[in-house]
Homo-oligomer: A and B are copies of this chain.
Amino acid sequence: MRLKPYNLKIKTGGPLVAILHEDTAHQFDLHVGDRVKLNCDRTEIICSLDVTKNGFPKGRIGLFTEAYNALNIDKGDRVEVSPAEKPESLLFIRKKLDGKALDEREINEIIKNIVHGELSPVEMTYFVSGCYANGLNDAETTALTRAIVNNGKKLTFKKGTVVADKHCIGGVPGNRVTPIVIPIVVAAGILMPKTSSRAITSPAGTADAIETVCNVTVNAQRLRKIADTVGGFMVWGGGVDLAAADDKLIKIRHPMSLDPEGMLLASIMAKKHSVGSNIVIIDIPVGKTVKIPDAKSAQHLKKRFITIGKMLGMKVQVIITDGSQPIGAGIGPFLEMIDVMDVLQNTPGAPEDLRAKSVMEAGILLEMAGKAAKGKGRAMAEQLLVSGAAWKKFQQIVRAQGKKRPPKMARYQEPIVSIHDGVVLEIHNKLIAHMARIAGAPTDPASGLVIVKKVGDKVKKGEPLFIVHSNSKDRIAYTLEFASKQNGYTIGKNKVAVVKAKTPKVKPKAEQKKKSSKK
């Protein structure tokens, strides 16, 4: 049948979807989820079909933006609609839902279809569900990683080049070690082409923080050049299209916050694999209020990361770290970047916990790359930091990506004070993150919190625990209201021996920041 096209002017965000009025579909024995072949001039596409009851003209073919654009429709064109076979990958998705393992070809077929928009959101959801309910074994996870990489853009370097990378499982507010580790490692002459994500549910992603001082959306061609000349970069992964399939799957997982373990692993490893990384450090923070709540889960993940790394030809080292409280002082894109630059410039009072963790991670990468002897990496990283070499490299990278004028400090700053005398026993990471978001992070990059008191610190009634930063009076009020009910701090008599992080105690810089913002 030849039908007049109807441009719906709505993006599906990927899938090619066409829509028919119920009566028109019935007439041609077509149903929701069927595939139709659309021809217009010499262009042919396959769409999945949606069927609607009314509010849409009979006898026309509605096209979501992706499908409309793919067909190159000129004015007056008609579209030839005919039934098409469903993609073979639906059989494989069904197989996974049935609890059977998929092979490399089957997984690749699913991912290929996803990247080309050939699976509907409902069909992709069945794939995510199958992976969640029945799990992915190591071979499947490796195959999924390869499929994501092979069906997206890649960065490749000369054979034999050592390429370093890092990843943190996340959930610890303020844990902004990436922009410190990169310049240290690159200053030692190791290639580190790093892509990071933006915040989804946290107050700041690494890309959001770095974006307060330089551009993070850089195309693949320019990335190549920066890698060749400067030795590394720190950009937003979403701007490079390195793992397109992964972004589409994340969109499906988000509404239920569903992270099938195999998909989570593949998602992380694909980002490393697509830039050719071969030495990788993975940080798994453990704590009651972060993603990984106990040592057993962490050990399990550690084992899987190492196995899958090996199958992909990567050396992977996994560190299990203290995730019991925020790291650094600032929580929010720019407040975190201030901590980062203080560490890189050896500013007195820079957060010691952030500094120590960054130096440790950089040290491990230096040893893995063979730049430092075993046990000597940390000292070498320390030296690159103290000498100013890391700071110099940081500035080079920032300039290469495109330096930006940083935002002003937030207009409003209000302390949240303790109503008890005592010792800080616990800080709830999720509540801290939530308050930083209410204050405006990451949308307003200068907003967030500055932590004053950490676990083990003594606090007197009336003393500030943290400072809320925001450019909106309303948001300040909302945050204060929230904090008046639960501010995330447990303050007690210190009767339990508080096990502190191995890293030294933080010297809060909130006061200093508060002053600087009043200039």
Contact = CB atoms under 8 A, between A and B. Distances in A.
Interface stretch (A91-99, A170-178, A308-316, A416-424): A91-99
Contact of A254 (B32, B254, B258): B32
A10 B55 contact: yes
B123 A255 contact: yes
Nearest to A54: B11
A194 interface: no
A132 interface: yes
A437 interface: yes
A226 interface: no
Contacts of A62: 10
A251 B256 CA distance: 20
A94 B125 contact: no
A13 interface: yes
Given A256-B90, A258-B97, A126 B129 contact: yes
Interface string A47-59: 0101111111000
Contact of A251 (B32, B48, B125, B134): B32
Contact of A443 (B10, B27, B93, B97): B27
Nearest to A124: B122
A56 B258 contact: no
B254 A133 contact: no
A492 to B, nearest CB: 31
A8 interface: yes
A317 to B, nearest CB: 31
Contact of A126 (B8, B51, B256): B256
Given A11-B54, A11-B55, A122-B255, 19 more contacts: A10-B19, A10-B55, A10-B56, A11-B52, A13-B50, A29-B437, A32-B251, A32-B254, A32-B255, A48-B255, A97-B132, A120-B255, A121-B121, A121-B122, A122-B122, A122-B252, A123-B255, A125-B129, A126-B256
12 contacts: A9-B55, A10-B19, A10-B52, A13-B50, A13-B51, A27-B443, A29-B437, A32-B254, A32-B255, A33-B256, A97-B129, A97-B132
The 3 nearest A-B residue pairs measured at CB: A33-B255, A129-B129, A133-B133
Interface of A: 8-11, 13, 19, 26-27, 29, 31-33, 48, 50-56, 62, 65, 90, 93-94, 97, 99, 120-123, 125-126, 129-130, 132-134, 200, 251-252, 254-256, 258, 437, 443
